[in-house]
Amino acid sequence: MLKITLTSGLVGKKETQRKIVQALGLGKYGSSAVHSDSPTIRGMLNKVHHLVTVTPAEGHETKAAKAKSEAKAAAKKPVEAKASK
């Protein structure tokens, strides 16, 4: 997981850079977002590396990853048999 923080303003920056920053979920100066480490995210970060700071984020999960892990845990839970009368 990567924590991405916008460390530079977007005034005077190219439109493509603004769109990439918006797609990363960053709005204003100082805003942060957590993303999984993937080639797509790395490519986006390479385009705006001068505008953001990237740090590893341990213990953070995206909503999708959290839902997936919860579903996996629920599937492993043993099914309780109903007691017959």
> Tell me, what's the pLDDT at 42?
95
Q: Which of 17-21, 26-30, 53-57, 63-67 has the lowest mean pLDDT?
A: 63-67
Long-range CB pairs of 38-47, under 8 A, 24+ apart, other chains included: 41/2, 44/20, 45/2, 45/4, 47/16, 47/17, 47/20
Give yes or no for residue 59 having a pLDDT over 80. Answer: no
Domains and CATH numbers, the chain: 2-62 (3.30.1390.20)
**Model pTM?**
0.68
